[in-house]
């Protein structure tokens, strides 16, 4: 099995290293990842600038390709230019921090896997639900198991990928796996308005609080309850249910 890895925390992050070590046990792994952090880049691609690629060694051994692009650029570039053979699987992560609810839209990690799905390759994104003191070992182990299953099944619908979120608790406290929808819950956020040393105003996004709704059967509550959350997401954003109503508007 040939596996392509990418992420948005950059090639030197611990999350991608944990994934590399785990997935190398079951396949031939190539990393093509950003040369530094590209968090919250959404599904950005680079059109106005060229992309540079550098080979990166770790422990005296070839580790992967670092690029000046976004996660989506990395996957495009890997498949269209760098790899000799189309990979069997694209895995993006392990992200530091969850990618649930509307943050799926902002996530560079998810967009790496989305690009894989657009290019017709079974793909998943995997994120660990903490921003501090991450222990990637269980997530890396789970990614290995899921990679094998995806390779065996090989049947995701066209343009669909899996978005996986792992609770950041000890392995024995994880209650199982749930296949759930993306939450549509509102996010509370605000901007800090500050003054720089030259007395100029600037704004900084902060205070992102996702309102709780324990009854909702979706990704956010799933990981809060210590289940692994898996959401199949697709690249066709059409709201089919609304098409007929919109036709009655007489635009």
91 binds a copy of itself (CB under 8 A): no
Residue whose tokens read 């003191």: 133
Binding mask 183-222 for a copy of itself (x = CB under 8 A): -x-xx-xxx-xx-----xxxxxx-----------------
125 binds a copy of itself (CB under 8 A): no
Residues binding a copy of itself: number (CB under 8 A)? 75
181 binds a copy of itself (CB under 8 A): yes
Q: Cβ of residue 146: shortest distance to a copy of itself, in angstroms?
A: 6
Cβ proximity to a copy of itself: between 56 and 177 the closer is 177
239 binds a copy of itself (CB under 8 A): yes
To which H or E segment does residue 204 belong? strand 201-210
- Name which position in 75, 156, 168, 210 contacts a copy of itself (CB under 8 A): 156
d(CA 161, CA 50) in angstroms, rounded, equals: 28
Q: Name which of residues 5 to 34 contact a copy of itself (CB under 8 A).
A: none
- Name which position in 99, 111, 127, 222 contacts a copy of itself (CB under 8 A): 111
Q: Which long-range contacts (CB under 8 A, 24 or more apart) does 223-227 make?
A: 223/98, 223/100, 223/129, 223/165, 223/166, 223/167, 224/167, 225/175, 226/167, 226/169, 226/173, 226/174, 226/175, 227/167, 227/174, 227/175, 227/176, 227/177, 227/178
What pairing do the DSSP bridges indicate for beta strands 89-96 and 2-6? parallel
144 binds a copy of itself (CB under 8 A): no
Q: What is the separation of C-alpha 131 from the centre of its chain, rounded to a whole number of angstroms?
A: 15
Q: Cβ of residue 219: shortest distance to a copy of itself, in angstroms?
A: 9
- Name which position in 25, 149, 170, 171 contacts a copy of itself (CB under 8 A): 149
d(CA 27, CA 143) in angstroms, rounded, equals: 12
Residue 128 backbone phi and psi in degrees, to 5: -105, 130
Q: Name which of residues 40 to 79 contact a copy of itself (CB under 8 A).
A: 40-48, 50-53, 72-73, 76-77
240 binds a copy of itself (CB under 8 A): yes
Q: Cβ of residue 59: shortest distance to a copy of itself, in angstroms?
A: 25
To which H or E segment does residue 221 belong? helix 219-224
Cβ proximity to a copy of itself: between 165 and 231 the closer is 231
């Amino acid at each position: 099995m040939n596996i392509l890895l990418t992420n948005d925390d950059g090639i030197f992050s611990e999350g991608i290293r944990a994934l590399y070590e785990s997935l190398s046990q079951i396949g031939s792994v190539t990393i093509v990842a950003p040369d530094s952090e590209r968090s919250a880049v959404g599904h950005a691609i680079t059109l106005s600038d060229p992309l540079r690629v550098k080979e990166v060694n770790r422990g005296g051994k070839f580790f992967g390709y670092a690029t000046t692009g976004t996660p989506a650029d990395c996957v495009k570039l890997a498949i269209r230019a760098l790899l000799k053979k189309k990979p069997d699987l694209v895995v993006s992560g392990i992200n530091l921090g969850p990618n649930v609810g509307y943050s799926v839209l902002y996530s560079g990690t998810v967009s790496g896997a989305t690009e894989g799905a657009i290019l017709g390759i079974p793909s998943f994104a995997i994120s660990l639900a903490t921003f501090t003191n991450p222990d990637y070992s269980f997530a890396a182990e789970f990614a290995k198991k899921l990679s094998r299953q995806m390779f065996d099944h090989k049947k995701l619908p066209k343009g669909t990928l899996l978005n996986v979120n792992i609770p950041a608790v000890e392995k024995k406290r994880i209650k199982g796996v749930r296949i759930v929808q993306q939450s549509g819950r509102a996010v509370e956020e605000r901007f800090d308005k500050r003054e720089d040393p030259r007395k100029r105003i600037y704004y900084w996004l902060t205070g992102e609080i996702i309102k709780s709704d324990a009854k909702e059967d979706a990704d956010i509550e799933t990981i809060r309850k210590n289940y692994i959350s898996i959401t199949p997401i697709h690249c066709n954003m059409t709201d089919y249910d609304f098409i007929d109503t919109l036709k009655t508007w007489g635009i």
